[in-house]
Amino acid sequence: MSIVLPPSAAPRSAYPADVLPEPVRRRLLELARGEAPVSAYLYDGRAAAARARELRAALPEWAAVHYAVKANSFPGVVRALAPYVDGFEVASRTELELALAALRERDGSPSGGSSPVPVVAAGPAKSVPVLTALVRAGIEAINAESLLELHRISRIAVAEGTTARVALRVNPAAGPVSAQASGSLRMGGQASQFGVPEPDVPGVLEQALRLPGLDVTGFHIHAASNNLDAAAQAAHLRRCVEWSTAIAREHGVDLRMVDVGGGIGVAFEELAGERPFDVSRFGELVARSEPPPGVRVVLEPGRFLVADCGWYAAEVTDVKHSYGTAFAVLRGGINHFQLPTSWDLVHNIAVLPVDRWPDGLPRPEAAGTRVTVVGELCTPEDTLLRDVRVDRVRAGDLVVFPYAGSYGWEFAMHGFLGHPVAERHLL
């Protein structure tokens, strides 16, 4: 069995400490004065809000931005985004409750009825309790993944004496729609657990339109993630609108929503010159794809809105030299921040020096050399960064990962070995 490790960072060097915003450095050094070793996420809600404002301002009025809560579910971040997004995308009851709480704070009382709550829901295996909560909440759309799920929603809605708004999630066949969805993680155009295969859509729609308690409002087509190509992302949106319009007309669907999913990428090495997603260009191209009157196009950005609003910091508990390799060992690791290993990416760091150190203890260090950053777990897979050159890193210093605001705390292996989970703080 091969061990999965992130790719080598060579010949990269660690970022200088002043890459970290001054309030981040100040707060981390405050935490370092405590007795417990630092292992924490810091979030800046203002940074997330700025991203949301930027994207919303670039898009036409018929497009809606629904934040994908799975990317970062910290309540302070969700609340910070609420005034600047049109709604939320959720995949569990916990996420639904977070979204509803943020909407109540923003709007007063996001009740159902004739005006749906601006929430859409997705996920390949929604349980009956989850579906029941979604139906009761009166959300904008449950993105149904299968014929069985449509039947379950219908049965729940009838029992509740209501009508559930649903969109059919489609896994597009290899062709024009799926071809425009480029990115590092493909979820359409191939065999997967997500959605209804495109050839099966006519038969599923025929049954869905006859089921009681359902209002079929449109389609959900999410085919890829982390796309940095604004033109390709805009082309995906255009193809989704064209396809949905044609299928709705052919099968008698009263089309009101086309959900194109997420997919807008993040340049994890923007600090080293990687080109970020061009939001302005994306908005210009999207504006040319106006849907039919009364149809709203929903985007579900997650990572794009919150990646650069967070930093993961962990104290170096030891610096070890083994057969020519230097290791910075953290109070933390993939039990707190699994993304670099799972996504096979180089996620660079900054080293924040901490002067405080107990008298009489040796203080090992690595200076002017390449270092591999590892965690506290009893497995060599607990490796966050390999072969990055540092000016100096010492036991007691803090290793800080920028761009850790998305799929960080939420995506980690909290239970393995039972170490304390990383703290979370809002600046």
CB 286 within 8 A of CB 234: yes
pLDDT in tens, 102-115: 999 999 865 545 68
Residue with tokens 């971040």: 77
Give the residue range(s) of CATH 2.40.37.10 domains in the chain.
17-44+308-426
Residue scoring higher pLDDT (193 or 51): 51
Which residues are annotated as catalytic? 378
Mean pLDDT of 352-369: 96
pLDDT of residue 189: 61
Position 322 scores a pLDDT of 97
340, pLDDT greater than 90: no
What residues pair up with 15 in beta bridges, in sequence order?
A: 350
d(CA 258, CA 286): 13
Q: What is the pLDDT of residue 269?
A: 74
How many whole angstroms separate alpha carbon 260 and alpha carbon 131?
21
What is the CA 317 to chain-centroid distance, rounded? 30
Over residues 62-82, the pLDDT tens digits come to 999 999 999 999 999 999 999
pLDDT at residue 243, as a whole number: 97
**First CA to last CA distance, the chain:** 42
**How high is the pLDDT of residue 342?**
83
How many CB atoms within 10 Å of residue 403?
23
pLDDT at 409 over 80: yes
pTM score above 0.85: yes
Residues spanned by CATH 3.20.20.10 within the chain?
45-306
Give the angle subtended at the CA of 281 by the CAs of 275 and 284, to the nearest 5°: 170
pLDDT of residue 200: 94
**45-306: which CATH number, 2.60.130.10, 3.20.20.10, 3.20.20.70, 3.40.50.300?**
3.20.20.10
Location of structure tokens 């929503």: 257
Average pLDDT for the chain: 93
Percent of the chain with pLDDT over 90: 85
Per residue in 319-336, pLDDT (tens digit) is 999 999 999 999 999 999
**Least confident piece of the model among 170-174, 228-232, 353-357, 379-383:** 170-174
Fold topology of 17-44+308-426: Lyase, Ornithine Decarboxylase; Chain A, domain 1 (2.40.37)
Q: How confident is the model at residue 87 (pLDDT cuts 50, 70, 90)?
A: very high
| pLDDT per position as a tens digit, 243-278 | 999 999 999 999 999 999 999 999 877 666 778 999
Site of tokens 């290791």: 327
- Give the pLDDT of residue 270: 64
Distance (Å) of CA 160 to CA 20, 68, 132, 135, 136: 51, 27, 9, 8, 8
Confidence of residue 345 (pLDDT cuts 50, 70, 90): confident
Question: For position 225, what pLDDT does the model report?
Answer: 80
Q: Is 74 exposed, middle or buried (0-12, 13-18, 19+ CB in 10 A)?
A: buried
- What pLDDT does residue 177 have? 45
What are phi and psi for residue 341, nearest 5 degrees? -75, -45
Sole residue written with tokens 């255009």: 238
What is the mean predicted confidence (pLDDT) over 150-161?
98
**How many residues make up the chain in this entry?**
427
Mean pLDDT of 14-43: 96
Band of residue 223 on the pLDDT scale cut at 50, 70, 90: confident
